Amino acid sequence: MKQQFLKGKTGTIRLTAYDKNRPLIPTSALITLYKSDGTTVLQAQASASVDSTTGEMTYSLTTTHTATHDLNYKAVWQYVVSGTTYYETQLFDVVKSILSIPITDDDLYAELESLRKANIQAQGTATGGVAGTLIDTARRKEATDFWKGGILEILSGTGANQKRDITGFTQSSSTFTVSPDWATTPSTDSVYRCINSFSTKILQSFKKIETMLYNKGKRDSLILESSQIEMPLIYLTVHFIALDLMDEDTDKWSLIAKAYEKKFDDSFNTMTLDYDEDESGGVQGEEAQQGIGGIRIFRS
């Protein structure tokens, strides 16, 4: 999905360029912004920031840049890598409503408890730790951030019965970081269990729903809060997880995938959407409660 910015609010537009699956690290970057007609200059060429480690280029948008909601504003980037100048065009939208992900793994477990056991889990005994970490150099060799977003539980020993969110995992030191800090710091007798997160599947499903909403048209005028997509997002995420878990067309997970695909279709197609197209600040008349299945596909 294109980057979206809230009407009348500041934001940061971002771009990372890649070559052979690796990020390029520009030595400098410039950006020019155009209105949605593609020719009217919104911001004359200006310097952009470059992260010297990740290569990410960023530019801060002001309320002047986001004053009018519309689709397909244009950013033209000019950046230098190893003495060669490159150009890239990026489109972005200014909208009245930005969605965020309204669900967590717990919402998926509440919908389908068997997902809890199907998730990737591991167990071990800590070899060390401090207030906000747990270390296991004996067993934990997974890739950095493999466990990020998951849950870490102390099953027995020092600090037993504590449960924390995993905010990071570092392969080189076999270290979990957690939040909040432990009330009792784990020790070498602390037996733990780590449970991975379905966050990547949640994000995949969220992006699909965002794209489907965008393709219905008038995305810039849409007034929609994140809670309105909660159930469609749960259903679609369960569908994608079940597809990954299925071994054959007639097994349990195949049946679940099909059932939740239908649940998602029914839930999404019965959503009603509100638009503030006339800049009144509210939703009135034909702007209100339009059934998503009957919305004409066009651009504002």
Q: Match 């480690």 to its residue by tokens.
A: 53
As a whole number of Å, the CA-based R_g of the chain is 23
Q: Which pLDDT value is given to residue 278?
A: 62
pLDDT score of 92 more than 70: yes
Q: Which domain holds residue 28?
A: 3-95
Last residue of a domain, one of 171, 195, 219: 195
- Mean pLDDT value across the chain: 90
Q: Binning pLDDT at 50, 70 and 90, where does residue 297 land?
A: very low
Mean pLDDT of 9-30: 95
Does 152 have pLDDT greater than 90?
A: yes
Q: Do residue 160 and residue 223 come from a single domain?
A: no
User: Do residues 290 and 231 both lie within one domain?
Assistant: yes
Among 136, 165, 195, give the residue marking a domain's end: 195
- Residue 89 pLDDT greater than 70, yes or no: yes
- In-domain check, residue 209: yes
What does the pLDDT look like over 229-258, one tens digit per residue? 999 999 999 999 999 999 888 899 999 999
Q: What is the pTM of this model?
A: 0.76
* Residue 162 within any structural domain of the chain: yes
Q: 20: which residues sit within 8 A by CB, 6+ positions away?
A: none
Residue 138 lies in a domain: yes
Number of domains in the chain: 3
Note the pLDDT tens digit of each residue in 253-291.
999 999 999 999 999 999 888 887 666 655 555 545 555
Question: Is residue 231, in this structure, part of any structural domain at all?
Answer: yes
pLDDT exceeds cutoff 70 at 81: yes
Asked whether the predicted pLDDT for residue 17 surpasses 90, the reply is: yes
Residue 90 in contact with residue 74, Cβ under 8 Å? Answer: yes
Task: Average the pLDDT over each of 88-102, 158-172, 279-293 and give the range with the smallest value.
Answer: 279-293
For residues 10 and 30, state if they share a domain: yes
Mean of the pLDDT values across residues 143-155? 92
Among 174, 195, 216, the domain boundary falls at 195
Which among 101, 114, 138 is positioned nearest to 229, based on CA atoms?
101
